[in-house]
A and B are shown apart, each in its own frame.
Chain A
Amino acid sequence: DAKTTQPNSMESNEEEPVHLPCNHSTISGTDYIHWYRQLPSQGPEYVIHGLTSNVNNRMASLAIAEDRKSSTLILHRATLRDAAVYYCILRATGNQFYFGTGTSLTVIP
């Protein structure tokens, strides 16, 4: 199964944009790119997902490289409530998620 590589941790100032990178060089054509985040003492929360095209929703934007070997989750204005562990996950239809250790995002007031 294709795996992802993310930085262990990142910092951002409050109200500034945050770009969380993810490398997935062995992605297959049927893999969807999913992003979840997990706040302390809570279950993971869905953020966004996409296949080939860039995606936007009320929480974030997902920018997918043309070759699909990398993607970036964009939080347009970081707030203190965005401090969490962010997971980038590949998944083909019907297959399971493989969560890695994710990126721990610290938001500095």
Chain B
Amino acid sequence: EAGVAQSPRYKIIEKRQSVAFWCNPISGHATLYWYQQILGQGPKLLIQFQNNGVVDDSQLPKDRFSAERLKGVDSTLKIQPAKLEDSAVYLCASSLEAGTSPEFFGPGTRLTVL
């Protein structure tokens, strides 16, 4: 079974530039998550999708971050404009059912904002 795919794996940009990350979840997984993990900390949930609808985006900085999940499959996370404090690893995960089923994580995208 193929795992969660993410691209790119690494990205370096300057502050105020824009960046986008892509995620392809495990086939059949209805729930998709984006996490931000700052060095030395545990992952923090940014947004949770159920199919193509948003379930929870309470911790997403909506003035600069946006996410979508077209057709309930792939998802993109965008940052515009980026700030220095956005430097982190962005993780995508998916699960069959939120809460009771395991979440499967992708390898993450390491973003460096200069």
Contact = CB atoms under 8 A, between A and B. Distances in A.
Given A43-B91, A44-B91, A87-B42, A97 B103 contact: yes
Given A43-B107, A46-B103, A99-B43, 8 more contacts: A32-B99, A32-B100, A43-B4, A44-B91, A44-B103, A46-B102, A94-B98, A101-B42
A102 B104 CA distance: 18
Contacts, number: 51
Interface in A45-103: 45-46, 49, 87, 91-102
Interface residues of A, number: 22
B51 to A, nearest CB: 14
Interface of A: 32, 34, 36, 42-46, 49, 87, 91-102
Interface of B: 4, 33, 40-45, 48, 55-56, 91, 93, 97-100, 102-108
A101 B48 CA distance: 21
B102 to A, nearest CB: 4
B38 to A, nearest CB: 11
A46 B100 CA distance: 12
Most chain B beta-carbon neighbours within 10 Å: one of A43, A93, A97, A101: A43
Contacts of A98: 45
Which 10 pairs between the two chains have the least Cβ-Cβ distance?
A99-B42, A43-B105, A93-B99, A46-B102, A96-B45, A99-B43, A44-B105, A94-B98, A94-B99, A43-B91
Nearest to B6: A43
A33 B105 CA distance: 18
A87 B56 CA distance: 22
Nearest to B3: A43
Contacts of A99: 42-44
B4 to A, nearest CB: 8
Contact of B93 (A32, A43, A94): A43
Contacts of B99: 32, 91-95
Contacts of A36: 103
5 contacts: A43-B108, A44-B105, A45-B105, A93-B97, A95-B99
